[in-house]
Amino acid sequence: MTKQFVISSGHGDKVSGAIGILNEHNEAKKVVNRVYSILVDEYNGKGYKYHETTATNQNQNLANIVSFHNGKTRDLDISVHFNSASASATGTECLYYDAKSLSAKMSKAMANALGIVDRGAKERKELYFLRNTSKPAILLEVCFVTSKKDAAAYHENFEDLCQAIAKVIANELGYKKKVTTVSKPSVEAPSYYKSGTGLYRIKKNCYAYRSVIFDKENRVELCQKGTKYTIVAIVKYGSTYRLKTKWGMYITANKEYVEKV
Ligand SMILES: [Zn+2]
């Protein structure tokens, strides 16, 4: 039988986590959503995801999260958090109750994906989530919300990070990548610039975002048709591509919207 997992975001909609350059709970939700869909869509994984939305204090929030986890049939519990400290603190960590080797693998995989230091696995038997979940559990500290460098690495490598986290979970639970049958691309399929820095012109109005995640909340400005942007990198996000501007914003690399000058 396929092993199952439960993955949840740390903190809740009404019980805020750390807020620095990044908002811990908001970003944790994005990581959970993406990792979950990689595991069930791109791997043959099975499991559940959870975001706590109702608690108004920390004890209730933790109790709700743990009771969701313990209420499911599963082999692994994963909680996604971000760290917070002084502006100079940087790196990934993974906290555990007794899953030390899995934790070490997870911290290393996240560090490699983000290109920041691996602070390693840390035993934290006192943490409510780790102590009260009844299956092997790990608590990811993706990077520091207080670090400019970590926040930039996170935005730039979001997809690689989620793929790396999913791969460690998949290996642990014995999931295999699905063989994707590529169907004939339709004439409508977007085509992307996949490489090439320099000047690009906007062909069709679109938005610039502060992250590779094109959510409304990440919008920075409207890119008017005809405007030119200096592009310093092309970043892969899922099966699409983003242009990174020299001001650190991201715009689509879809050839319908942009053209290289
Ligand atoms: Zn946290």
Residues 6+ apart with CB under 8 A from 260: 193, 196, 198, 199, 200
Distance (Å, rounded) from C-alpha 143 to C-alpha 91? 5
User: What's the pTM?
Assistant: 0.74
CA 155–ligand 1 middle distance (angstroms): 18
pLDDT of 238: 86
Query: pLDDT tens digits, residue range 128-175?
Result: 999 999 999 999 999 999 999 999 999 999 999 999 999 999 999 999
Amino acid at 83: N
Residue span of the structural domain in which 103 resides = 4-173
Instruction: Tell me the per-residue pLDDT of 199-246, one tens digit each, with 9 for 90 and over.
Output: 999 999 999 999 999 998 999 999 999 999 999 999 999 889 999 999
213: domain CATH number?
Answer: 2.30.30
202 Cα: distance to centroid of ligand 1 (angstroms): 39
Residue 50 Cα to ligand 1 middle (Å) = 15
Plot region of 226 (φ>0 → left; ψ -120 to 50 → alpha; else → beta): left
Instruction: Tell how far CA 140 is from the center of its chain.
Output: 11
DSSP state letter for 186? P
Span 48-95, pLDDT tens digits:
999 999 999 999 999 999 999 999 999 999 999 999 999 999 999 999
Residues 166 and 213 in one domain: no
21 plus 81 within the same structural domain:
yes
Ligand 1 centroid to residue 142 C-alpha, Å:
10
Residues 6+ apart with CB under 8 A from 16: 23, 24, 25
Asked if residue 126 and residue 215 are part of one domain, the reply reads no
Query: For residue 125, what pLDDT is reported?
Result: 96
